[in-house]
Amino acid sequence: MMGKSRLEAFSDGVIAIIITIMVLELRVPGSGSNWQALSPLVPVFLSYVLSFVYLGIYWNNHHHMAHTIGRVTGAMLWANLHLLFWLSLFPAATAWMDTTHFAAVPVGVYGGVLLMAAVAYWILQQIIIRSQGRHSVLGRAIGRDWKGKASPLLYLLAIGLCGRWPRAALGVYAFVALIWLVPDRRIERALASVAD
Amino acid sequence: MMGKSRLEAFSDGVIAIIITIMVLELRVPGSGSNWQALSPLVPVFLSYVLSFVYLGIYWNNHHHMAHTIGRVTGAMLWANLHLLFWLSLFPAATAWMDTTHFAAVPVGVYGGVLLMAAVAYWILQQIIIRSQGRHSVLGRAIGRDWKGKASPLLYLLAIGLCGRWPRAALGVYAFVALIWLVPDRRIERALASVAD
Amino acid sequence: MMGKSRLEAFSDGVIAIIITIMVLELRVPGSGSNWQALSPLVPVFLSYVLSFVYLGIYWNNHHHMAHTIGRVTGAMLWANLHLLFWLSLFPAATAWMDTTHFAAVPVGVYGGVLLMAAVAYWILQQIIIRSQGRHSVLGRAIGRDWKGKASPLLYLLAIGLCGRWPRAALGVYAFVALIWLVPDRRIERALASVAD
Amino acid sequence: MMGKSRLEAFSDGVIAIIITIMVLELRVPGSGSNWQALSPLVPVFLSYVLSFVYLGIYWNNHHHMAHTIGRVTGAMLWANLHLLFWLSLFPAATAWMDTTHFAAVPVGVYGGVLLMAAVAYWILQQIIIRSQGRHSVLGRAIGRDWKGKASPLLYLLAIGLCGRWPRAALGVYAFVALIWLVPDRRIERALASVAD
């Protein structure tokens, strides 16, 4: 009954703004005008790239998932807002890592935000699958969903590592981003087979 | 004559930006990197959650209400901008509560913004209902609209409580959010009965 | 050949962000938590209302004008970007008036931005009218366009008043906003007569 | 299979926000209220105009290019995000030039961002052309693409000039903007010939 275009448009808007707000952190401190002035920006830049890639992954997969929605329900609207809530914490979590030079607690909090966003995405996915009944396109598309199941475990592992090795935790976050970088071709394939 | 897609898109854009601008408040002060550094953020975080939920409620109900619009009139455009104006004051009102540790006047001003947004929503709703004539889909959908009528009274009650018990006022704001959290199923149902 | 939906969507996005960025000025200074702390905000609030109303007028009239566009040309895209450029200076011009307590030069600069936005709107309007040929819907709709012709003259008058009476200039700005507040019913009417 | 409307809408959103975030730099420093107070803003204003024009060019050409897309692939989504990434660095690069009064390194970094954005645009263009097969509309439209080939060379030349003559480098950036200001009529023409 409800179209999904507004759900898509609103999510696009919020994710676009979250991505762009992070850029506000990329300020060269003081009035230095040489290459040395840029050096404190290097970790800030790298953490911006990491968060940008994560938000890009969420946007891409959201794009594919929303494509399978038939009728938008109230539960979907709220599950989607719940996902956007956790994504909206990326800029603050990224900024705290930056200003503390990637100390243990901030890196762990960043991992907690990643974890909660993954949980929120999973909840939204389940609500969509249930609404589609037994022969759910999305349900078949994600199949056993090993990426969706492995990611939260890897985040938990990384959070456990933070106390001693925050840099190792960051490595795990980057690794999870890499395994997701391939967009959800499973859904593309399943949709293609429906179209045939 | 005018399509409603731009009214929806513009409202989505403004609400998406308002939600995301509030995130700019979520900054860990100083250079602390432990859990104690997060403790002053707890009330800021809770007030962010409250305002996020309120904006989510307005977005959801706006989504449902706009769905019933046939033809966009000039009066609707301005009633909608009027609603967006009051919603745009959420970040400033939330920030003032935060920096004053939820003192009486700022909590009352926040309630005033909630009240004016509710009034603006009611005006927009009335204009849409009138434009639909006697057998208004929206008019039937909202029915006796007890939520819409109780909310302003509860906000007024909360504003009255602020002088002595600002925390009780916050409790009332949270309570009103809870009774609205269920999206407007009345409209969904009325639309469904029309479709049949 | 090109659809106008992206031109509309992009303009909506930019105007939505400009409106919302102005809210960032609405910060209660210091840590005051009583009504007196709000008093320095009163002029800031009033100038926010004025700029919000102006941007609302531009958005509404843009909405009506874009409705008459058939085919988007390169010239329209650039004339539209030119309009958005001057609108994007509203937050900076408003903020300068605020911090200088409405001194002569800042009030005059604000008027200059209003003037340039009006000129940019007129250019966009002319380009659309020319693209529609002799029986232009928009051309007939705006008719003699007395509002469009009077506004720049009133802005020039107000800028002239700034040196001695900046408050009188503000009064003129508010007056021009008032005569525009009624959305462009001329276009609505002309479109309706075409539809008949 | 996937519609291109979300790719367009998301790109519009990000570019709209990037353009508007740059406005946050346009702040009159201190509390000066006369014309002299504006003089330090002149170079800031000019660099804002330059970056605004560049983002306008990218938006316009993106508009034309996206028009030729038939089916959105995962590779396109990521090539598009890659382009948006480099565009998102415009505000930070512009701000660094401003605060250092256009010193050698910041002007060179700005050129590097221009170069990377051009490369990202070229990659996206190639991916779209390949997806369209031998008789690609976009491929025919851009033809020999001399602008697309000359721009990176001119950026490299300008970066080389920065060490000694940063102002000459800025002149080259402005010159490249000028040769692009004409929107991609080649694509308009090719699409028109297809429509015939």
Cα→Cα distances C105→A107, C22, C169, Å: 49, 20, 11
pLDDT, position A33: 77
Cβ-Cβ contacts under 8 Å between B and C: the total is: 85
Q: Kindly state whether C2 is in contact with chain B, defined as any CB-CB distance less than 8 angstroms.
A: no
Parts of chain A with a pLDDT under 70? 1-3, 29-30, 182-196
How far apart are alpha carbons A101 and A110 in whole angstroms?
13
Length of chain C: 196
pLDDT tens-digit series, residues A115-160: 999 999 999 999 998 888 777 777 777 777 778 888 899 999 999 9
* Whole-angstrom distance, CA of residue A1 vs CA of residue B188: 8
Burial class (CB in 10 A: 0-12, 13-18, 19+), B138: buried
Mapped to the 3 state alphabet, what secondary structure does A136-192 carry? CHHHHHHCCCHHHHHHHHHHHHHHHHHCCCHHHHHHHHHHHHHHHHCCCHHHHHHHH
Lowest mean pLDDT among A171-185, B161-175, C174-188, D5-19: C174-188
- Return the percentage of chain B with pLDDT > 70, whole number: 89
Q: Which residues of D touch A31 (CB under 8 A)?
A: 99-100
Distance CA D96, CA D105 (A): 10
CA nearest to C7 within chain B = B6
For every residue of C8-50, DSSP letters joined together read HHHHHHHHHHHHHHHGGG----TT--SHHHHTTHHHHHHHHHH
Q: Which of B27, B31, B195 sits opposite A1 (nearest CB)?
A: B195
pTM for the structure as a whole:
0.87
Say what the pLDDT of residue D148 is.
82
Question: What is the distance between the alpha carbons of residues A91 and A26, in angstroms, rounded to a whole number?
Answer: 12
Q: What confidence tens digit (pLDDT) does each residue in C96-119 have?
A: 998 888 999 999 999 999 999 999
Does any CB of chain D come closer than 8 Å to the CB of residue A8? yes
Chain A residues touching residue B35 (CB < 8 angstroms): 105
The listed range with the strongest mean pLDDT (A185-189, C34-38, D30-34) is C34-38
Q: Which long-range contacts (CB under 8 A, 24 or more apart) does C120-126 make?
A: C120/C79, C120/C82, C120/C83, C120/C85, C120/C86, C121/C58, C121/C61, C121/C83, C121/C148, C122/C148, C122/C152, C123/C79, C123/C82, C123/C83, C124/C65, C124/C76, C124/C79, C124/C80, C124/C82, C124/C83, C125/C65
Q: Which of B31, B23, B98 is nearest to A91 (CA)?
A: B23
- Partner residue opposite B34 with nearest CB, options A88, A89, A105: A105
pLDDT, position A192: 61
C13 contacts D16? CB cut-off 8 A: yes
Tokens of A19: 């991505």
Residue B157: Cβ-neighbour burial (10 angstroms; 0-12, 13-18, 19+): middle
CA of A90 vs chain B CAs: smallest distance (Å): 9
Average pLDDT, chain B: 85
- Per-residue CA distances from D144 to C134, D130, D141, D149 (Å): 38, 16, 9, 9
Residue B66 C-alpha from the chain's centroid: 15
Q: What's the pLDDT score for residue B183?
A: 54
Minimal Cα–Cα distance from D167 to chain C, Å? 24
The answer to whether D119 faces chain A, any CB pair under 8 Å, is no
Concatenated DSSP letters of B138-174: HHHHHTT-HHHHHHHHHHHHHHHHHTT-HHHHHHHHH
Contacts of B56 in chain A (CB under 8 A): 78, 81
Angle of the D146-162 helix axis to the D104-131 helix axis, nearest 10: 160
Report yes or no: D14 at the C interface, CB cutoff 8 Å: no
Averaged pLDDT of chain C: 85
To test the contact with chain C by mutation, choose from D18, D28, D55 the residue with the greatest count of C C-beta atoms within 10 A, namely D28
Model ipTM value: 0.83
C1: pLDDT strictly greater than 60: no
Residue B27's φ and ψ, nearest 5 degrees, are: -115, 130
Average the pLDDT over B50-58 and give the result: 93
Contacts with A20 from chain D: Cβ below 8 Å: 14, 17-18, 21, 88
**C2-16, C50-64, D54-68, D115-129: the lowest-pLDDT one:** C2-16
Q: Assess C99–D contact: CB distance below 8 Å, yes or no.
A: yes
Q: Test D99 with A31 for CB contact under 8 angstroms.
A: yes
> What is the three-state SS of chain D?
CECCHHHHHHHHHHHHHHHHHHHHHCCCCCCCCCHHHHCCHHHHHHHHHHHHHHHHHHHHHHHHHHHCCCCECHHHHHHHHHHHHHHHCHHHHHHHHHHCCCCHHHHHHHHHHHHHHHHHHHHHHHHHHHHCCCCCHHHHHHCCCHHHHHHHHHHHHHHHHHCCCHHHHHHHHHHHHHHHHCCCHHHHHHHHHHHC
Q: Is A171 on the interface with D (CB under 8 A)?
A: no
pLDDT, residue D108, reads 93
State whether A27 and D74 contact (CB < 8 Å).
no
What is the number of other CB atoms lying within 10 angstroms of the CB of residue A46?
14
Q: How far is A160 from chain D (nearest CA, A)?
A: 31
List the single residue in C with minimal CA-CA distance to B106: C33
Neighbours of C (≥3 Cβ pairs closer than 8 A)? B, D
Q: Are A21 and B18 in contact (CB under 8 A)?
A: no
Of C15, C23, C31, the CB nearest to B100: C31
Average per-residue pLDDT in chain D? 85
